Amino acid sequence: MSIKICTLYFEGKYTPDYVEKLHNGLKKYCSLPFEFICYSDNPNVKADVVIPLNPHSDIKKHWYKLSYFSPLFANQKPNDDIIIMDIDQIIVNNIDDIIGYPVGENELVSYNKWWGGKPKLNGGFYKFKSGELKNFWSDFIKCPEVWQLNWYKTGVVHYKYYGEQNFVDWMCEKHNVKLTLMPSEWVCKLTNNKKEDKENQLQYIKKFNKDYMVLDKPHDDIKIIHFANPHANIHDSDYHWIKDYWK
């Protein structure tokens, strides 16, 4: 059994160094052996394995992530632990508990989106056994055009082509997949909006009985920070401590 950490990069919102910096963070803060894979339309991203992204496909943006649910993708072997991670994250403490989080048959492990909104799982992190959730891909690829716009057209999300985590959440329900959310306080959300960050900070303090979420650096109980917001990115962030972790 091996751990494959699988990412996606496509030209647009981010730059290729996001991939390299996440990889560097994983190498620094994870003592478990893993293979770092990037499915990318830019061949210059830095990863152990770079899979070229098909330029003619009907699949849009982050929906390519779903390819990893197929055991035929990314040279998966039976019983491999597959982790799909978004690249807009900063690792700030030892992450062995997250990367090594136990996962069984017919189970999906994800972050707990304690800061609100539905679904409770977070598309920034999916962990499962290779092939166990292959129906997610099979169902999606039957009509990607429909699924990619479904949650936008029904008003659940407000940005075109958003809704991938809604699809995954719905797949869990449809296929009776056990959804496991890791301890909430391990993950926090930041944005480029001070007001929103302050509200999250207060919520974190209250919810988890901590002194703070982020001051001159993130709280020691936080292992990873997700810039989970359609308008958020790491490279424009004002937090000075970021340079110590994201390099």
Partner 1 sequence: MRIICVNTGNKFGQWYVDNLKHMIDNYSGLKYDSFEVIEEEKYKGVFNKLQMFDKFRDGENLYFDLDICIYNKVPNLIRRDLTVLHAWWRDRAHTSFNSSIISWTGDQSHIYKAFKKDVNMWQEKYNKGIDQMLEENFKVANYDKICYSIKGNEYNKKDNNYSIMLFNQSQYLMLPGWSSWWTDYFLPISVKNI
Give me the least distance between CB of 246 and partner 1, in Å please: 27
Minimum distance, C-beta of residue 84 to partner 1, in the bound complex (Å): 14
Residue 241 contacts by C-beta under 8 Å, 6 or more apart in sequence?
Answer: 214, 216, 217, 218
Kindly identify the residues of this chain, within the stretch 108-137, that bind partner 1 according to CB under 8 A: 131, 134
Helix (H, G, I), strand (E, B) or coil at 51: strand
Report the residue from 31, 44, 75, 94 that binds partner 1 according to the rule CB under 8 A: 75
Nearer to partner 1, 67 or 89 (CB): 67
Which position among 31, 44, 54, 193 is part of the footprint of partner 1 (CB under 8 A)? Answer: 54
Dist. CA 224–CA 167, nearest whole Å:
24
- Closest distance to partner 1 from the beta carbon of 72 (Å): 5
From CA 201, how far away is CA 185, in angstroms rounded? 12
DSSP per-residue string spanning 160-205: TT--HHHHHHHHHHHTTPEEEE--GGGEEE--S-HHHHHHHHHHHH
> C-beta of 54: minimal distance to partner 1 in Å?
5
Verify binding: residue 60, partner 1, rule CB under 8 A: no
Is 67 a binder of partner 1 (CB under 8 A)? yes
Q: Which of 24, 106, 135, 141 touches partner 1 (CB under 8 A)?
A: 141
Per CB under 8 A, which region of 72-80, 82-90, 154-162, 170-178 contacts partner 1? 72-80
> What CA–CA distance (Å, rounded) separates 69 from 167?
13
Select 56 or 240, whichever has its Cβ closest to partner 1: 56
**CA torsion sign, 122 to 95 to 38 to 138?**
negative
2 vs 14: CA distance, rounded Å: 29
Instruction: Work out which of 1, 12, 33, 43 binds partner 1, going by CB under 8 A.
Output: 43
Residues that bind partner 1 (CB under 8 A): 39, 43, 51-52, 54-57, 67, 70-75, 131, 134, 138, 141
